[in-house]
A and B are shown apart, each in its own frame.
Chain A
């Protein structure tokens, strides 16, 4: 009997695209399209004390609200659409729902309602949608897209359909159209409808990695090796390894120099794209060497950026790495494999 093939098992390949820009605009565009940001980490070389202004940028005025057991039909009411979707920017995401087996809901800051539903729920709903990219073969997940801003849909029909969805916990944040309106208006609105609303604050931690070989990012840097180094710094990994070490043969990229300290800051919460842009603006020209930011999305959001559908096989890690060095910007986009699986 022929020996079975045991060597060609491959992990589904993720994508890692890098682009270099000489201007801030393209970077801003990419950040704006990445709707749901969960984790932001910043690496600054040769920085012992965190500037207070930087620490506050994603800690103050970044509160969001958690609404428990929301009847999803509330979001199709005329009052909600007029006051919160058409004015300002609203981000809403269902939590404790898994994209690979549950129903997941989201509203993007552009006013798009996106429902990622199991086959049973979809068929009971009666709204028009399309089959999910990941389940083309067995057709057991469907995506419904409704543009809440353009008003071309029937509110009654949508509300009636959404009434059939089970209650769900959501997190929501709203950016008002002008400074005279408080962002907490969204919490008040749900509170008046007798929902339990809780304010959530982002978590923050920071640490310093001492005496570490740091890449200097020359003209054509190896960005894969750089992001790996960034990961080691963020996770406070063991930098003492070398090629001959039995336990750990990790070595920083070639051309690294030893620095006294590297500062790592990590925030976790629910961020709108504008808040990430505010961070990038604060970081610009902050360090002479370079500054790097990693932004990770939610594993269970129905969309990654624009209309790109999110899948989940072994993980849902989609993120962007933005590196700023004087006037140069590098953007690395890491996306999970978009492979369709046989089932």
Chain B
């Protein structure tokens, strides 16, 4: 274990625009390319789920590239010319674990 790592992200934009999964993926790949070049961006990154209302999504990346993707997301500053931030809500190597965390559960 494990072949993959999973990241829950939320895109925060300074101006409300429509975000589609294809454009989001393009933006993520661009940010990886900016930091790690062509070879870094050749990794298979999948968007397993995306909610276009809350702009929350789940990314899957091979474990060996997890830290690079996370670094790229942190340093990514623009989405289609609009200032943006990627909020990393949770990361795990088990997809099932992203269902919830006891830390933010209100008893």
Contacts and interface: CB of A to CB of B under 8 A. Distances in A.
Interface of B: 1-6, 21-22, 25, 36, 44, 46-50, 58, 60, 63-64, 66-68, 90-103, 105, 107
A72 to B, nearest CB: 18
Contact of A247 (B3, B4, B22): B22
B94 A317 contact: yes
A224, A228, A230: most-surrounded residue (chain B CB, <10 A) = A228
Given A232-B48, A235-B48, A249-B44, 11 more contacts: A16-B94, A38-B100, A38-B102, A39-B100, A231-B94, A231-B95, A235-B99, A247-B25, A248-B47, A315-B97, A319-B96
Interface string A118-141: 000000000000000000000000
A299 B94 contact: no
A334 B97 contact: yes
B60 A250 contact: yes
24 contacts: A11-B67, A13-B63, A14-B1, A38-B100, A41-B96, A224-B1, A230-B96, A231-B6, A231-B98, A235-B49, A237-B48, A237-B58, A238-B50, A250-B48, A270-B107, A296-B99, A296-B100, A300-B102, A314-B91, A317-B92, A317-B93, A317-B97, A334-B93, A334-B97
Given A9-B68, A14-B94, A317-B94, A39 B48 contact: no
Interface in A126-160: none
A21 B21 CA distance: 42
Nearest to A66: B107
Contact of B94 (A38, A64, A227): A227
A15 B1 contact: yes
Interface string A289-309: 000001011111000000000
Contact of B90 (A66, A315, A319): A315
